[in-house]
Structure 1
Amino acid sequence: IASGSEYFGMEPFVASGPRAGTIHASWSDRVIGANEAVLLEMSATVGRYNAPLMHTVWTGSLTGEAAEMAVACAAARDAALAHVRPGGSPAQAHAACKAAIADAGLAHTYRKRSGYSVGIAFAPDWGEGHLLSLGETEEKPFAANMVVHVVPTLRIAGTAGIGLSATVLVTDDGHEVLTSCPVGPQR
């Protein structure tokens, strides 16, 4: 907001610890504890154009399956992004995302699409999944000037949730990442 963002198309999501494993959990009076993931999703918006970002941070040390999920989530995002280019297939991007997660032995934590298009948005949503969705059956090719939110999110209900996304502009010869966040979960 201090940098000029306007009202965005969906409320911010803030979920910590076991609540981070519930999709689109909103904030509550739960106290964030030590050594747990905090899943954040929000958007910057200018002229009703939204650029969402999901990112996981943690308090203390992230260990065990949650740490494995963070590594796999970053690899899945990068695998999907490799297909986001003119003529690329959203279904292939989704398949690459799922394969990276499966290669890490975490296929059981992933049960959704790998992204969706975004553009001008009004509440209650910033997504345009009805126009283009990075899913198994989406064959409409990527084209220059499309904007896509690539958002792999690994979740184990009641345990943890890890999400690392990027909103990208499809360019004439590839893509440009519009969102800025350090690679990987941060403390």
Structure 2
Amino acid sequence: MAARQQAPEGHDPIAALRSGLDAHGADGLLITNPVNIRYLTGFNGHTSALLVLPDHAYLVTDGINEEQAHERKRSSSSRFEVRIAERPSDPEPLASLVRERLTRTQQPGGRLGLEADHVTWAHQQRFATSWFPGAALVPTVGVVERLRSVKDESELATILRAAEVSLAALDEAYALLADEPTELEVAQRIVTVLRDCGAEQASPPIVAGGPNSSRPHHWPTGRRVAAGEPAVLDVAATVDGYCCELSRSRGGKGSQRLREIPGIVEAALQAGVARIKPGAPANEVDDGCRGLIEARGYGPQFIHAAGRSIGLHLVEEPKLTADSEAILEARQVFVVEPGIYLPGEGGSRHSALVLVTEDGHRVLATGERR
């Protein structure tokens, strides 16, 4: 994958992160989640850590990544230094930086934040006893992820490119259904289109025909998708590290329920999208989708959340769930994707890629390419 695109001039996500550390009870933050390291520096090598201290930031990696690390330092809008460890498990570069820059300058002893969702119990014990014995270790949750949720112009442009690739793959896959192919044949066509467009898979394609379309995360099989059967296609493309996932459904013959659910799902999508605006609770988007589906008698058959934010990862915070406490902000990007699934018969799922604007929202793409 390519590195994170250059941020607008003057935008330094590490500086933005540093300014909010005190609110999280930390003087410094050790970042070990590779996606967060990539967001802050553009560096996507393995066996690395980013140490953000009150006055400096240090990217620590091993010799395998040395050239790439220095290259990212030169091109990144963030300011950080590079330190090279002799081996991935060598604690000395990080330990000495914490000892010299944090525990000796902060009182009492320095508070070092850890990414609680990414640090294992074994790592925490090692950090406390042998790596950073003089620091007070503080668990933090979602510090970088909150910054990632608001996209800059470069990120938006890259997500739009991923959307176009996803739509190109959906177009070819949907056209192929006329030949009554197997699910695996359609999935292979999707993978080929992504590769030919210079993209990668953010997740394997979903191709579900007939009764298989009642399974939201169905894995393609050798079963043929017959004419007149419902079908659900789902493509998740990654371009320069940024993701977009879109779904497209074909209605099917059969019961009255099977024939009517595509229209209900489309109406639910529009109802959910209509509630997207700055300051709106995220759970209201779910309520918009779910309320309409429930009113039509299919509430129990809508078995997943209404959507979620996307970016460097296919599933990011905030999520559009019934129990979410998040408040939507301008420049967040969401995939909204209601669905109805009838076990043994089939299903339907429609999706839209939506940007929260300063005064409402803008639909960037839909799986149906309206």
TM-score, normalised relative to structure 1: 0.86
**1:47 aligned onto 2:240:** yes
Residue 279 of structure 2 corresponds to 87
2:315 is aligned, of 115, 127, 142, to: 127
The change in CA–CA distance for 1:178 and 1:36 in structure 2 (over 3 A counts) is same
1:142 paired with 2:328, answer yes
Contact 1:5 1:44 in 2 (8 A): no
Q: How many correspondences in the alignment?
A: 177
Matched, 1:66 2:258: yes
Tell me the equivalent position of 2:343: 157
The answer to which structure has the higher helix fraction is: 2
The DSSP-based 3-state class of the residue aligned with 1:154 is: strand
> Which residue does the alignment assign to 1:19?
212
Q: Does 1:105 pair with 2:297?
A: yes
Query: Cα gap change, 1:4/1:17 in structure 2, threshold over 3 Å: closer, same or farther?
Result: same
Question: Partners in 1 of 2:348 and 2:215 — Cα distance?
Answer: 11
Q: Are 1:77 and 2:269 matched, yes or no?
A: yes
The residue that corresponds to 1:118 in the other structure is 310
Q: Secondary structure at the match of 1:80?
A: helix
Which consecutive segments of 4 or more residues in structure 1 shift more than 4 A?
none
> Structure 2, unaligned stretches of length 5 or more?
1-193
Structure 1 residue 55: deviation in Å? 1.3
Report the CA distance shift for 1:86/1:120 in structure 2 as closer, same or farther (over 3 A): same
Share of identical aligned residues, percent? Answer: 27
Amino acid in the other structure paired with 1:100: L
Name structure 1 gaps, 5 residues minimum: none
Q: Based on CA coordinates, which of the two structures has the bigger radius of gyration?
A: 2
User: Could you tell me how far apart the structure 1 residues matched to 2:225 and 2:212 are?
Assistant: 10
One-letter identity of the residue aligned with 1:156: L
Structure 2-normalised TM-score?
A: 0.45
The structure-2 alpha-carbon separation of the partners of 1:3 and 1:78, relative to structure 1 and needing over 3 Å to count, comes to: farther
**Conserved? CA contact 2:248–2:368, under 8 Å:** no
Relative contact order (alpha carbons < 8 A, sep ≥ 6): 1 or 2 greater? 1
Distance 2:323 2:347 in 1: 26
Give yes or no for contact 1:37–1:62 (8 Å, CA) kept in 2.
Answer: no
